[in-house]
């Protein structure tokens, strides 16, 4: 499992150790607790125990607590998470990797006008928000195509 953390607009990968079964249960319990707190309040105070024994309490707004809860939920399911600022721009290689498509396919989509971009010198940059929107549209098209295939199979009496 890997993480991609964004710091000072530079991505760096952090490879945490795989969660043990006990750690995963701990994360699940924390997820339930955090999400319940978000549902029942306008904010949350979190006490953090440090190695030195300090226990500072930090107030967090609901949006931050919800993000922490979603991160904990993904961790408990063994999913990989990427944390990036919304204003981030991706290179064509990064965007292709993000969308799980080849770079040549991505370039064709950009040149056809289906994926917005801007030029920085001779290089194309794609806004993360545009890549997210394109990915959502791509998944919706895939779902519709699968539904049409299933409908066709049902019409032909093919059970699968």
Kindly report, residue by residue over 85-133, the tens digit of the pLDDT: 778 899 999 999 989 999 999 999 999 999 999 999 999 999 999 999 9
pLDDT (tens digit per residue) in 9-60: 444 443 345 777 888 888 889 888 888 887 777 777 888 888 888 888 888 8
**pLDDT-derived band of residue 160, with 50, 70 and 90 as boundaries?**
low
pLDDT band at 153 (very low <50, low <70, confident <90, very high): very high
Q: Which is it for the CA torsion 11, 15, 21, 23, positive or negative? A: negative
Question: Is the dihedral angle over the CA atoms 35, 37, 41, 46 positive or is it negative?
Answer: negative
Strand, helix or coil at 46? strand
pLDDT band at 71 (very low <50, low <70, confident <90, very high): confident
The answer to whether 89 and 126 have CB atoms below 8 angstroms apart is yes
Q: pTM surpassing 0.75? A: no
Which sign does the torsion angle of CA 135, 1, 29, 58 carry?
Answer: negative
Query: What is the average pLDDT across 123-150?
Result: 94
Quick check: 95 and 131 in contact, CB under 8 A?
yes
The pLDDT assigned to 7 comes to 40
CA pair distance 21, 105, nearest whole angstrom: 40
How buried is 69 (Cβ within 10 angstroms: 0-12 exposed, 13-18 middle, 19+ buried)? Answer: buried
- Between CA 134 and CA 69 the distance in angstroms is 26
Q: Domains of the chain, with CATH numbers?
A: 3-83 (no CATH), 89-155 (1.10.1660)
């Amino acid at each position: 499992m890997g993480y991609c953390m964004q710091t000072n607009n530079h991505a760096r990968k952090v490879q945490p150790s795989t969660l043990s079964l006990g750690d995963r249960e701990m994360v699940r319990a924390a997820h339930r607790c955090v999400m319940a707190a978000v549902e029942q309040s306008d904010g949350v105070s979190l006490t953090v125990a440090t190695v030195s024994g300090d226990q500072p309490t930090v107030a967090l707004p609901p949006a931050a607590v919800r993000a922490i809860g979603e991160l904990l939920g993904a961790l408990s399911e063994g999913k990989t998470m990427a944390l990036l600022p919304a204003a981030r721009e991706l290179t064509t290689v990064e965007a292709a990797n993000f969308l799980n498509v080849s770079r040549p396919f991505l370039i064709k989509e950009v040149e056809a006008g289906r994926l917005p971009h801007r030029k920085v010198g001779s290089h194309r940059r794609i806004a993360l928000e545009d890549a997210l929107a394109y990915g959502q549209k791509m998944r919706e098209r895939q779902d519709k195509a699968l539904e049409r295939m299933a409908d066709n199979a049902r019409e032909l009496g093919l059970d699968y």
